[in-house]
Amino acid sequence: MAFQPMRVDWVASPPAGAYPHRRLAPPPRPYAGPPSYPVPPRWGFPLLAWRWPTSVTGDAAEVDSVEQVQRLARTAFHVLGLAALTLLWAAGSEIWRYVLLLQSRYGALSPTTVDVSDAMLRSASVLALIMVVGGVVFTLLWLRRARAAAASAAGYAPSRSDTEVLVGVLVPGVNLVLAGSVAAELEHAALRLPASARPSPSRLVRWWWGLWVAAGLWTVFTVAWSFRSSVQALADGVLFHAVSDLLATAVVVLTMLLVRRITTLLLPVAPSTLRRMRVVELRDAPAPELRAVRSHGSPR
């Protein structure tokens, strides 16, 4: 009788405690409606309007600089707007005087008409001079703050000092060349472009620079023409003064746009990129289910 070996199967099982006991997650609870509280909750955000952060010293200084630029920009914008209106008034007065000169060739003019024309021209000239000087002062104050804010945002100091900028903007003849360079450098820094790159002025800066040069040269020509004493030269001088006022108006208007553009570039977030969203209409939405009974003391 032959011997047959027994078949043995070995089964390995882990010892007790080898694996942590896995707890089954409780089944999700059904939705029971919005939360309710027995008393009005006392938590939440404080009733404060949004404001610039002032807890960090460096950020607060930068924010203060930008806010000062905004305040000066608003003031300069308003004063320059008044200057533009008074310059238009002066140009209209000059044109009216030129029309009266044309009419005087065919007969004598009324003394009242001449007196009104002279009064309008004198008052418009004085007011335009005052508004232009005020606009220049506030624009220079804005320029100083804007250069500091642009330097802080770009991370490098401006290439010109405040004294050099003041001389380059106010000295006649020199300002025809340096004023555009100052505006181009300020725009370059406000765009956060590197200092190694050459400033490339935008179309607005180029138009402002061109009109600035044209207005300056035309003013010099008008002043030189006023030394002529012939009747025709005096009549032409009235028309040349009207053109000077119109060119000055264009320069002032472009200065307003330039101040607004540089100030917008210095803001942390451009206002044009912000969109106010609101619910206007709700369509095809199921009616919400309201609880039939509210718990005692829950807010209504």
SS3 30: coil
Distances in Å between the Cα of 242 and the Cα atoms of 39, 109, 131, 228, 245 are 75, 21, 17, 17, 5
pLDDT score of 204: 93
pLDDT score of 288: 73
CA angle in degrees (0–180, nearest 5) for 271-272-278:
90
- Asked if pLDDT for residue 55 goes beyond 70, the answer is no
pLDDT score of 141: 92
- Asked if pLDDT for residue 58 goes beyond 60, the answer is no
Q: Which long-range contacts (CB under 8 A, 24 or more apart) does 226-233 make?
A: none
Top-confidence residue, 55 or 194? 194
Nearest-angstrom CA–CA distance, 170 and 139: 12
In the chain, % of residues over pLDDT 90? 28
pTM of the model: 0.67
pLDDT score of 106: 77
Top-confidence residue, 145 or 300? 145
DSSP 56: S
Average pLDDT of the residues in 194-205: 88
> pLDDT per residue over 237-257, tens digit each?
888 999 999 999 999 999 999
Sorting pLDDT into bands at 50, 70 and 90, what band is 218? very high
Nearest-angstrom CA–CA distance, 263 and 90: 30
Record the tokens describing residue 280, joined without a space: 């206007």
Sorting pLDDT into bands at 50, 70 and 90, what band is 258? very high
Domain boundaries, the chain: 60-268
CA nearest 76: which of 219, 214, 263? 263
**Could you tell me the sign of the dihedral formed by the alpha carbons of 155, 65, 262, 211, in that order?**
negative
> pLDDT per residue over 10-52, tens digit each?
777 777 766 666 667 778 888 888 877 777 777 777 676 666 5
Asked whether the beta carbons of 82 and 131 are under 8 A apart, the reply is: yes
pLDDT score of 114: 80
Q: What's at 213, amino acid-wise?
A: V
